[in-house]
Amino acid sequence: MTGPPVDAPLEEVVSTDPRDGRELGRYPLHSAADVAAAVTAARRAASWWSGLGYAARRSRLDAWRRLILRRVSELVELISAETGKTTADAQLEAILVVDHLRWAAAHAGKVLRRRHVRPGLLMYNHSATVDHHPLGVVGVIGPWNYPAFIPIGPIAHALAAGNTVVFKPSEYTPGVGKWLADTLGEVVGEQTVLEAVFGFGDTGAALCTSGVDKVAFTGSTSTGKRVMAACAESLTPVLLECGGKDAMLVDRDADIAAAADAAVWGGLSNAGQTCVGVERVYVHQAVAERFTELVVENAAALRTGVGRDADIGPMATREQPSIVAEHIRDALARGARAALGGPDSVRPSTVEPVVLTEVREGSLALTEETFGPVIVVNRVATMDEAVAQANACAYGLGAAVYSRARGPQIARKLRVGMVSVNSVLAFAGVPGLPFGGTGASGFGRVHGPEGLREFTRTQSITRQRVRPFLRPLSFERSPRTMDALMRLIRIVYG
């Protein structure tokens, strides 16, 4: 289990390895004053960093990427050690880090450069332009489940857009946060453009009220609400990437073997602790039996444990197994069937795969984030029913659709931010695609052009090029001027 041992001194954050409880490191617990000092320093660095321009920032961020790649085994080992995830899961995370960092650095100049806009009829004598200025200092608050990949989204995009960043990693993964800040510091020696601050919820709360120019938060919906409330006080803008309850929809014409393989990987990799992991499957009744058999067969074949050869590692936090157990018990008490595993699959630190079928509406396993290796498989009579059930959920983060003929059609009916057709989680691996949710999953986007614009202040400028023939924007205008304009508007737009 990770997290602060009960006897840990309060002035430190202690990181431990969930695989064996070994202490990994101790980090200073930063107070509100420490956070304020970090933000002040970041603000000083911000004018230098934004003044460098896109090309110079790109070369520094590219150098950071190359350094990360040279030392990627360190990062992989650290991610595994602090979260308990398998080496393969940690490697995938590191690959995503590098890919998104490359995209942000390469595209910031193109996406954010000055844009000319047609001035239109009324202001024909003006030029009109849009600029995207950096905001200044961005506060990034990250979760433990993908301690490098998730924060690198806002960090890389904010930096590429010309901001500096103060980053509060989860209390469970301070080491990864420090590693990211230290490695960037090695290639950008002049000023500190990414500072990590450590602590628990209070340190994150202090970052929200520290005067940063935006907070990019990723974590649970309940904490997201607290972040938004704290930021409301000073009208600090927020980007909220919150929880999910992602559904997979499997149509009768789908490649059933591929869909079952994807459901198992999407639901169980990283021990099910993935915001866009598959938590619910709605499968057409014509193929439900075969699909469920394959899911159970594939899931039962996986090795769970703390050993290096395990497919599913331990749960990363102390609290998570009891939440998973509660969801399983609640579903069974309401009439669900356990096709694989059950309450006994939950051990103090590991959870064996669980497949639940016939889970009734209103069960926690359908409405709340389970965040463990549990897959719900419910059969539906039509894909319209599947869409209705998938959408009957407060969360709206991601989804997957398996269908040979109608994938994109079904995808467009889902009230979520991202959908993979005939695959799972693919959208997270396309750096040019905006990533984010709707409803209880939050708002705002990281990744892609939208992810870059999130960290800018949009400014519109008009410049009068020639004196106008008619002058409607002056008290010197005459009734004839306005009548002439009215006639012109009717002719052109009527």
Q: Does 146 bind ligand NDP (CB under 6 A)?
A: yes
Tell me how far apart the alpha carbons of residues 316 and 16 are, in angstroms, rounded to a whole number.
10
- Closest distance of CB 32 from ligand NDP, Å: 12
Binding part of the chain for ligand NDP, among 38-46, 102-110, 145-153, 261-269 by CB under 6 A, reads 145-153
- Closest distance of CB 107 from ligand NDP, Å: 20
Residue whose C-alpha is closest to residue 218's, from 252, 263, 255, 177: 177
Cβ-closest position to ligand NDP:
204
- Closest distance of CB 171 from ligand NDP, Å: 3
Among 42, 250, 387, 397, binds ligand NDP (CB under 6 A): 397
Q: Which is nearer to ligand NDP, 223 or 357 (CB)?
A: 223
Strand order in the sheet with 398-402: 337-340, 354-357, 374-380, 280-284, 247-250, 398-402, 418-421
Question: Which residues have a Cβ under 8 Å from the Cβ of 4 and sit 6 or more positions away?
Answer: 13, 14, 171, 200
Report residue 175 as tokens.
């080491």
Residue whose C-alpha is closest to residue 443's, from 211, 229, 216, 201: 216
Binding part of the chain for ligand NDP, among 83-91, 130-138, 140-148, 184-192 by CB under 6 A, reads 140-148
Positions marked active-site: 241, 275
Tell me how far apart the alpha carbons of residues 370 and 268 are, in angstroms, rounded to a whole number.
12
CB 83 within 8 A of CB 173: yes
Q: Does 227 bind ligand NDP (CB under 6 A)?
A: yes
Q: Which of residues 176-215 bind ligand NDP (CB under 6 A)?
A: 200-201, 204-205, 208
Which amino acid is it at 149?
Answer: F
One character per residue 352-371, x = contact with ligand NDP (rule: CB under 6 A): -----------------x--
Binding part of the chain for ligand NDP, among 71-79, 177-185, 218-226, 260-268 by CB under 6 A, reads 218-226
Q: Does 431 bind ligand NDP (CB under 6 A)?
A: no
Q: Does 330 bind ligand NDP (CB under 6 A)?
A: no
Tell me how far apart the alpha carbons of residues 103 and 274 are, in angstroms, rounded to a whole number.
23
Provide the terminal-to-terminal Cα distance of the chain, rounded to the nearest Å: 70
Tell me how far apart the alpha carbons of residues 68 and 159 are, in angstroms, rounded to a whole number.
16
Q: Which is nearer to ligand NDP, 330 or 369 (CB)?
A: 369
Give, as one character, the DSSP assignment of residue 256.
H
Q: Which is nearer to ligand NDP, 260 or 374 (CB)?
A: 374
Binding part of the chain for ligand NDP, among 27-35, 136-144, 249-257, 279-287 by CB under 6 A, reads 136-144
Q: Which of residues 233-262 bind ligand NDP (CB under 6 A)?
A: 241-244
Tell me how far apart the alpha carbons of residues 9 and 29 are, in angstroms, rounded to a whole number.
10
Report residue 429 as tokens.
């691996």
Q: Does 378 bind ligand NDP (CB under 6 A)?
A: no
Q: Which is nearer to ligand NDP, 126 or 226 (CB)?
A: 226
Q: Does 373 bind ligand NDP (CB under 6 A)?
A: no
Q: Does 87 bind ligand NDP (CB under 6 A)?
A: no
Tell me how far apart the alpha carbons of residues 205 and 90 are, in angstroms, rounded to a whole number.
29
Integer-rounded Cα Rg, in Å, for the chain is 25
Q: Does 279 bind ligand NDP (CB under 6 A)?
A: no
Residue 9's alpha-carbon distances to 26, 27, 29, 39, 205, in angstroms, are: 10, 11, 10, 26, 21
Give, as one character, the DSSP assignment of residue 403.
-
Q: Which is nearer to ligand NDP, 76 or 212 (CB)?
A: 212
Query: What are the residues binding ligand NDP (CB under 6 A)?
Result: 141-146, 150, 168, 170-171, 200-201, 204-205, 208, 218-220, 223, 226-227, 241-244, 275, 369, 397, 437, 441
